[in-house]
Structure 1
Amino acid sequence: MTGDRREGRTGAASDERWRLFIAVPVTGTAAGALRAWMAVGRRERPGLKWVEPDHLHITLRFLGERPAAEMPALVAAGARVAGAAAPVEVEVRGVGGFPSAERTRTLWAGVATGATELAGMAAGLEHELLAVAPDLDPLSHPFTAHVTLARVRASWIDLTRWPHAVAARERLWGRLPVRELVLFRSRLRPGGPVYTPLHRWRLGR
């Protein structure tokens, strides 16, 4: 597809497996505002496992460990979805928690405007990816567009009793123009995951 770009090292031994996910990177004003909020959050809640500031993204599909030799088929599947989708501007707003604000194990920033369009892309990816990789693990819950900010290391936290989170519950972090989807490889390291972009798909024909 015109506008696609391959990045990183894609050649690999036939038995090599890569941990992959497809996402929309969060950049610009929204990323800056979230990083500032997270900096305060780190000081107030150092026990949480905070996402690295340059790793903010909206995951559309986590693929898990996949054979590296499967890359061409995955790239073709992503191209079909991106080619049928139009660029969209999403609104990153508020903070919340999964499974609930009162018993949060994953802290996130939400997506307001544009959430429906992202859900459509996620559904398209689900269809196309399962067609080329039918052994993909099924989704454990319905897709909800969000930006993961932190994870609770043990037990849970109550966001409704944390003033820093309560004050940001409806805050507008920024508007994010979505013009492409990115296939990332994730390498787990003791200091945290390392993300490498392998392919970028431009939205639209």
Structure 2
Amino acid sequence: MPKPLRAFVAVPLPAPVIDFLQQIQQQLHSPMINVRWVRPENIHLTLKFLGDIEPSQVPVIGAQLDAAAVSTPAFTLNARGVGVFPNRRKPRVLWVGLDGETGMLKTLQTTVETVLAAVGFKREKRAFRAHLTIGRPRKRMDPDDLGGSLDRLQTAASAPFRVGRVCLYQSVLKPSGAEYTVLYSAPLSD
């Protein structure tokens, strides 16, 4: 029997945005902020985490992503500002936010959620909060140290980038970190 694949649906990021995110990571890097940084090439905009899927489901999911993509025109976003989830007192995720045509992004995410629910994937109960995860704090840190760094970068913004496709990714967890492979790519309409 084929081994299940750990999978998620996401928007890939262009090289200039990856470079911008790496610069943000470098500006936040400090002995006071102990963070496990996401490798820049692994940063993406997650629309839906699927968990374990069977390899035979890839074509079905791909067809659903095609259906979502064909009904969604390409749009523009930019990475802007820095924050944490759930809050500055107990940060678990360090992220960069998104600006631009965020209504189109929400529409795409809702459409992906709907088409995948039609083939048996559970709907996410939590509200979609668009973000790009750049790191995860390793231990408790002084909120003032973190807060000052975050405040300094609130106006940092990437150049606008075009969202032109949505992808199904496989995630393989390794000691050196996660490795992502595109299993399917669906272009948005023009």
Give the Cα–Cα distance (whole angstroms) in 2 for the partners of residues 121 and 178 of structure 1: 10
Length-normalised TM-score, structure 1? 0.84
From the superposition, tell whether residues 182 and 157 of structure 1 become closer, same or farther in structure 2 (CA, over 3 Å).
farther
2:108 equivalent to 1:121: yes
2:60 equivalent to 1:73: yes
How far residue 58 of structure 1 moved from its aligned partner, in angstroms, is 0.6
* Structure 2 unaligned residues grouped into runs of 5+: none
Give the Cα–Cα distance (whole angstroms) in 2 for the partners of residues 97 and 117 of structure 1: 23
Q: Which stretch shifts more, 70-79 or 150-159?
A: 150-159
How far residue 160 of structure 1 moved from its aligned partner, in angstroms, is 7.1
From the superposition, tell whether residues 157 and 17 of structure 1 become closer, same or farther in structure 2 (CA, over 3 Å).
farther
Corresponding residue number in structure 2 for 1:149: 134
* Structure 1 unaligned residues grouped into runs of 5+: 1-13
What's the % identity of the aligned pairs? 26
How far residue 29 of structure 1 moved from its aligned partner, in angstroms, is 2.8
Aligned with residue 96 of structure 1, among 68, 73, 83 = 83
How far residue 174 of structure 1 moved from its aligned partner, in angstroms, is 2.4
Corresponding residue number in structure 2 for 1:202: 187
Q: Which stretch shifts more, 31-40 or 156-165?
A: 156-165
How far residue 46 of structure 1 moved from its aligned partner, in angstroms, is 6.1
Corresponding residue number in structure 2 for 1:106: 93
Superposition RMSD on alpha carbons, in Å? 2.0
Query: C-alpha offsets along residues 138-167 of structure 1, whole Å, 9 cap, x if unaligned?
Result: 424110111001112344663774432211
Query: C-alpha offsets along residues 24-46 of structure 1, whole Å, 9 cap, x if unaligned?
Result: 12223322121012123334456
From the superposition, tell whether residues 48 and 140 of structure 1 become closer, same or farther in structure 2 (CA, over 3 Å).
farther
Corresponding residue number in structure 1 for 2:48: 61
Q: Which stretch shifts more, 26-35 or 49-58?
A: 26-35
Aligned with residue 162 of structure 2, among 177, 181, 185 = 177
Give the Cα–Cα distance (whole angstroms) in 2 for the partners of residues 177 and 85 of structure 1: 13
Give the ranges of 4+ consecutive aligned residues of structure 1 lying more than 4 Å apart after TM superposition: none
From the superposition, tell whether residues 180 and 45 of structure 1 become closer, same or farther in structure 2 (CA, over 3 Å).
farther
How far residue 183 of structure 1 moved from its aligned partner, in angstroms, is 1.2
Q: Which stretch shifts more, 82-91 or 112-121?
A: 112-121
Aligned residue for 2:168, secondary structure, equals strand
Contact (CA 8 Å) 2:33, 2:137: kept in 1 or not?
A: no
Q: Which stretch shifts more, 70-79 or 101-110?
A: 101-110
